[in-house]
Amino acid sequence: MKKIFLIIALVATVSIKPGFAQSNQATTLLTTYYDIKNALVNADATLAASKAGEFSKTLGSINMKSMPAAEMTAFMGLQDKLAFDAKHISETKDIAHQREHFANFSANLFKLAKAVKLTNEAIYYDYCPMKKSYWLSDNPAIKNPYFGKQMLTCGSVKETLK
Q: DSSP labels for 37-82?
A: HHHHHTT-HHHHHHHHHHHHHHHHT--GGGS-HHHHHHHHHHHHHH
Is the model's pLDDT at 32 over the cut of 80? yes
Q: What is the mean pLDDT of residues 34-45?
A: 98
Q: What is the mean pLDDT of the chain?
A: 88
Largest CA-CA distance found in the chain, in angstroms, rounded: 70
The CA distance from 122 to 73, in Å, is 23
Is the model's pLDDT at 67 over the cut of 60? yes
Any idea what DSSP says for residue 129?
A: T
Is the model's pLDDT at 2 over the cut of 80? no
CA angle 86, 146, 21 (to 5 degrees): 45
Report the percent of the chain where pLDDT is more than 70.
Answer: 86
Q: State pTM to two decimals.
A: 0.85
User: What pLDDT is recorded for position 23?
Assistant: 60
User: What pLDDT is recorded for position 14?
Assistant: 39
**Domains in the chain and their CATH numbers?**
20-120 (1.20.120)
**Range of weakest confidence among 41-45, 63-67, 92-96, 101-105:** 63-67
Residue pLDDT, tens place only, 75-114: 999 999 999 999 999 999 999 999 999 999 999 999 999 9
The CA distance from 58 to 29, in Å, is 7
